[in-house]
Amino acid sequence: MKTRFFIVSMFFCTVLVQSQTCYSGAAYFNNQAAVDNFVSTYSGSGCNTINGNLIISGPGITDLSGLSFLTTITNSVSIFANNLPNLDGLQNISSIGTSLSINGSDALTNITFNSLTSVGDISIISNDNTASISFPSLSTFSGNLGIGIHPLLTTLDFNNIASIGGFVNINNNTVLTSLISLQNLTSCNGLSLLNNPQLANLNPLANLTTLGIGGLNITNNTSLSDLNGLSNLTTINGSLYIQGSPLISTLGPLSSITSVSGNLGIADNDGITDLIGLENMTFSGDLTIDSNTNLNSLNGLNTTSIPGTVIISNNTALTDISQLESVLSILGNLSITGNPALDECCLVRNFLNGSNYISGNIAISGNNTNCASIPVIITSCTVTQADDDNDSIINTNDNCINIANSSQSDADGDGIGDACDNCPNTANTSQTDSNNNGIGDACEGNASIDTGLSSGGVGIGTTAPHSQLEIATGDVFITNKYRGIIMKSSDNKCFRYQPDTNGNLVGREIICPDN
């Protein structure tokens, strides 16, 4: 019985030691004496926890080594405005209840928390001499990660982190070249990479598949050569911005992204010439394409509805915005301004005349001559976009201007559509028809042309005299496969009817033989 009591007693003693509180409230150290007094009071007591906040701030603080007995801070840890050369003494802290903040500690060259496995937010900002930041035991945390304004930072160690519940902001780190420490990250609530001028690539982000409401913001990383590390990213539950990265030549690695629940902005990327890579993407906010010096087309944009405002501006080489033809509705404004090479904006008429829907205003200015303003667009497009046969193909592109033929079929490839070609199966760009019978010379009276008979054949084709033809006991056999029965409609149009390969009569409008 005594032995059993001893074992139980030892168990309870162990639990008490593991969770014993040294201090409740805010442990505020503003000078070295405050640190030393805390150490002398609690270091030998067996306690390891501050039930509250740990605040370390004061230029006279240089040594925290006596705090090595601490393992748990139930609230926050704040370290700022001090001359600490290192964080020795905090290496055994394994749990921080809410946040860890280290700001303005300019003497720190390395920031390392070897034992930390649990924390809410991490904010490490503006530590001028910090070259290395390391959290080797941390695998996941629920808050935000902010690393910023470090002129000497070269190394990050978050190698075991797979998931971050909050936002990741890595901004304004002058010499940081790699994100290798994030190589195991699969998800976070948003990723911001701003003003890291030496960051060369995003390859370590290859395991990233999902971003939350914070979206993805890649801005002013002037050495960034490509977006290859984003090829497995499929969903962004926020906005997407790619800006100020002049060495990026393609948006292709973004092609796996199917959903962006926010705005889409592509700006100040001098290397891209099109938007290929966005073709699988839907987005639910504004579209901004701005100041991409060598962008010449919107090819790659593939959407029928834009839930916000559209801004196409200051793209010096842009000549083609035809991808907007497929946009049927814009639930905001449309602004096309400052694109000096853009001379064709006739698609804007669709929003002016009500063919397509726009809920806001339209602004057109600063583009080339025929896209200089709304009145100019209306005037120039009435001529340049004429469509005489109303087949939705403008005259300048229509291979048969006066007869509707939306399919633009051209069996003989002579540039003249079958609908108006007088010899549709034999190339004859001149359309010569010496006897004006509606059949091109290339298809009649030429033994080298297969007209249905080995000798070339001759059909019934006289236009004078105009007489009735009655055949009482036989058939009409037209051996020339280019001929048929010509009939005139009530509106004086003529159609030649010929059988297709299934025996169905097919009518084709021709010039009336009696004209």
Is the backbone peptide bond immediately before 465 cis, with ω within 30 degrees of 0? yes
Q: What is the C-alpha to C-alpha distance for residues 258 and 240, in angstroms, rounded to an integer? A: 12
Contact at 8 Å (CB) between 344 and 324? no
Q: Which whole-number Å values give the CA distances from 182 to 206, 215, 404, in the listed order? A: 9, 17, 59
Q: How far, in Å, CA of 237 to CA of 231, rounded?
A: 17
Q: Exposed, middle or buried: residue 69 (CB in 10 Å: 0-12, 13-18, 19+)?
A: middle
Query: In 3D, which of 286, 215, 202, 318 has the Cα closest to residue 257?
Result: 215
State how far the Cα of 63 lies from the Cα of 85, in Å rounded to an integer: 8
Look at the alpha carbons of 69, 72, 73, 74 in this order and tell me if their dihedral is positive or negative: negative
C-alpha 289 chain-centroid distance: 11
Q: What is the pLDDT of residue 472?
A: 55
pTM of the model: 0.75
d(CA 80, CA 64): 14
The radius of gyration of the chain's CA atoms, rounded to the nearest angstrom, is: 38
DSSP single-letter state for residue 334: E
> Half-sphere exposure of 24 toward its Cβ, with a 13 Å CA cutoff?
3
What is the CA 308 to chain-centroid distance, rounded? 15
Contacts of 260 (CB under 8 A, 6+ apart): 215, 236, 238, 239, 240, 281, 282, 283, 284, 285
Per-residue pLDDT of the chain (515 residues; tens, 9 = 90+): 333 333 333 333 333 345 599 999 999 999 999 999 999 999 989 999 999 999 999 999 999 999 999 999 999 999 999 999 999 999 999 999 999 999 999 999 999 999 999 999 999 999 999 999 999 999 988 999 999 999 999 999 999 999 999 999 999 999 999 999 999 999 999 999 999 999 999 999 999 999 999 999 999 999 999 999 999 999 999 999 999 999 999 999 999 999 999 999 999 999 999 999 999 999 999 999 999 999 999 999 999 999 999 999 999 999 999 999 999 999 999 999 999 999 999 999 999 999 999 999 999 999 999 999 999 999 988 755 556 677 767 666 777 877 878 788 888 888 887 888 788 888 888 788 777 767 777 776 543 444 444 443 344 444 444 444 555 566 777 777 677 888 888 788 888 888 887 878 878 888 887 76
Q: How many CB atoms lie within 10 A of CB 386?
A: 12
CA angle 269/270/274 to nearest 5° reads 80
**The predicted structure's pLDDT at residue 47:** 96
Question: CA nearest 94: which of 63, 136, 145, 52?
Answer: 136
**Predicted pLDDT of residue 172:** 98
Beta bridge partners of 415: none
Judge contact between 370 and 361, C-beta under 8 A: no
Domains and CATH numbers, the chain: 16-276+289-296 (3.80.10), 304-385 (no CATH)
Please name every residue paired with 487 in a beta bridge, in sequence order, or none if there are none.
495
Q: Which of 351, 354, 295, 291 is nearest to 327 (CA)?
A: 351
